[in-house]
Amino acid sequence: MDALSLNEKNVFDVASIKQQFPILQQQCRGKPLIYLDSGATAQKPESVIEAIRHYYQYDNANVHRGVYQLSERATQAYEQVREQVRAFINAEDQHEIIFTRGTTEAINLVAHSFGALQIKADDEIVLSYMEHHSNIVPWQMLCEKVGCKIKIIPLHEEGTLDLNEYAKLLTPRTKLVSIIHVSNVLGTVNPIEQMIALAHQHNIPVLIDGAQAVPRMPIDVKKLDCDFYAFSGHKLYGPTSVGVLYGKRKWLEAMPPYQGGGDMISRVSFNKTEYNVLPYKFEAGTPNIAAVIGLGAAIQYLESIGMDAIQKHEIELTHYAQQKLSQIPGLKIYGHAKDKMGVISFTLDDIHAHDVGTILDNEGIAIRAGHHCAMPLMEYYKVAAMARASLGIYNQKSDIDALVRGLLKVKEIFGRYTHRE
């Protein structure tokens, strides 16, 4: 284990981790920045910033094309990250790792390409009530195109999925189950291994939206046995505009290309074009090479800390936050699953979430306020918006204590102050 992250007593050393993130060393509104919006995007450690700078300074060239040294170096660095990602999520082979722009593009790729291969009129796709818009809208677009239908797994009030109802939704018409691993609103960790096994009993493939899970726990796609797994680099302490679609080889081989252009072909003539082999078949055009290299540096950084240690830290801090926030009168937390991590969404009296966010900003505290790209969930809980604190590896208990002080101040400003500890 790297000395950076765990000291001799095997304690997760947040203070030294935080030191590795230059952006967190600044003040905002004259106060030390407390960043509680890693669910939207995580900050980047020095090593990621340096890897991108190094690439542009020394290695920049297009990949898979040049015959000269720079291009060879860029190609090698790019392909090395594919192997890193494969090992990080324990995929069987590198050809199952497709670089995309992020989770959104990965899901759109499956909706287009798997959709064209497998989904016809009156077929059904099973989603859950707690999906992010990026795991709803691509399927609605497919429904408009081919006439398929979406079925929704309902929720329990505590923010868990109704697994009895899920079992009933799986029928011979179901062609795909597409579900979120960790909810970006409720923090619920869904029992996906069990849900995948159930779908497979009916020969139904499963896509997992892992945008909020991959930064918080070790992922083993072989053990999960999922057919597709999507995630974003920027939530994983890496750059924006890079993400990953993992797909089982048998599906990716059978699926048609998503976009046409350079790199995804082996031979082009005006009569007939032959497509390239995996994974290039799904990577048309010049990719975001620097971002892929930055993603490699992020994975290396996280592995030096250890994903098990990160998971433990996130769970402990989530429990601490849940307990502290629930002591504030008038504060309502959404999401009480036993298995919950990384995200705490709430409302405070009748104060709009944007006002909560703006007042906290004056205290140097960055949280998210709004519908969190999950409008159906807002509708379910009958609120227009929620405030959300989401955690990262650089957050500590004192950040939560500052959030609590900030929220008491919000109540004071709005004349709702009823309690002082």
Least Cβ distance, residue 181 to ligand PMP (angstroms):
8
Q: Pick from 45, 102, 159, 238: which binds ligand PMP (CB under 6 A)?
A: 102
- The answer to whether 395 contacts ligand PMP (rule: CB under 6 A) is no
Of the candidate spans 114-122, 206-214, 327-335, 379-387, the one that interacts with ligand PMP by CB under 6 A turns out to be 206-214
Least Cβ distance, residue 240 to ligand PMP (angstroms):
8
Q: Which of 28, 143, 226, 373 is catalytic?
A: 373
Of the candidate spans 6-14, 115-123, 209-217, 309-317, the one that interacts with ligand PMP by CB under 6 A turns out to be 209-217
CA 210 to chain centre: 5
Question: Is residue 143 flagged as an active site residue?
Answer: no
Comparison of 111 and 410: residue with beta carbon closer to ligand PMP? 111
Q: Pick from 20, 38, 104, 188: which binds ligand PMP (CB under 6 A)?
A: 104
Comparison of 102 and 115: residue with beta carbon closer to ligand PMP? 102
Q: Pick from 43, 75, 128, 134: which binds ligand PMP (CB under 6 A)?
A: 134
Could you give the string, one character per residue 347-386, with x where binding to ligand PMP holds by CB under 6 A and - elsewhere? --------------------------x-------------
Least Cβ distance, residue 61 to ligand PMP (angstroms):
27
- The answer to whether 184 contacts ligand PMP (rule: CB under 6 A) is yes
Number of residues that bind ligand PMP (CB under 6 A): 13
Q: Pick from 178, 212, 318, 390: which binds ligand PMP (CB under 6 A)?
A: 212
Q: Pick from 81, 180, 189, 385: which binds ligand PMP (CB under 6 A)?
A: 180
Comparison of 74 and 110: residue with beta carbon closer to ligand PMP? 110
Could you write out the three-class secondary structure of the chain?
Answer: CCCCCECCCCCECHHHHHHCCHHHHCEECCEECEECECCCCCCCCHHHHHHHHHHHHHHCCCCCCCCCHHHHHHHHHHHHHHHHHHHHHCCCCHHHEEEECCHHHHHHHHHHHHHHHHCCCCCEEEEECCCCHHHCHHHHHHHHHHCCEEEEECECCCCCECHHHHHHHCCCCEEEEEEECECCCCCEECCHHHHHHHHHHCCCCEEEECCCCCCCCCCCHHHHCCCEEEEECHHHCCCCCCEEEEECHHHHHHCCCCCCCCCCEEEECCCCEEECCCCHHHCCCCCCHHHHHHHHHHHHHHHHHCHHHHHHHHHHHHHHHHHHHCCCCCEEEECCCCCECCEEEEEECCECHHHHHHHHHHCCEECEEECCCCHHHHHHCCCCCEEEEECCCCCCHHHHHHHHHHHHHHHHHCCCCCCCC
* Cα distance between residue 289 and residue 293, in whole Å: 6
Least Cβ distance, residue 247 to ligand PMP (angstroms):
17
**Nearest residue to 278 (alpha-carbon basis) of 292, 298, 293, 258:** 258
Least Cβ distance, residue 390 to ligand PMP (angstroms):
9
* Cα distance between residue 30 and residue 188, in whole Å: 35
Of the candidate spans 101-109, 254-262, 328-336, 362-370, the one that interacts with ligand PMP by CB under 6 A turns out to be 101-109
Least Cβ distance, residue 272 to ligand PMP (angstroms):
34
* Cα distance between residue 140 and residue 264, in whole Å: 27
The answer to whether 368 and 387 are in contact (CB under 8 A) is yes
Least Cβ distance, residue 234 to ligand PMP (angstroms):
6
Q: Pick from 82, 132, 368, 411: which binds ligand PMP (CB under 6 A)?
A: 132
CA Rg value for the chain? 22
Least Cβ distance, residue 339 to ligand PMP (angstroms):
16
Single-letter residue type at 256: P
- The answer to whether 232 contacts ligand PMP (rule: CB under 6 A) is yes
Q: Pick from 96, 209, 283, 314: which binds ligand PMP (CB under 6 A)?
A: 209
Of the candidate spans 11-19, 43-51, 98-106, 148-156, the one that interacts with ligand PMP by CB under 6 A turns out to be 98-106
Comparison of 180 and 317: residue with beta carbon closer to ligand PMP? 180
- The answer to whether 190 contacts ligand PMP (rule: CB under 6 A) is no
Place of tokens 């709430």: 346
Residues involved in catalysis: 373
Binding residues for ligand PMP, rule: CB under 6 A, are 102-104, 132, 134, 180, 184, 209, 211-212, 232, 234, 373
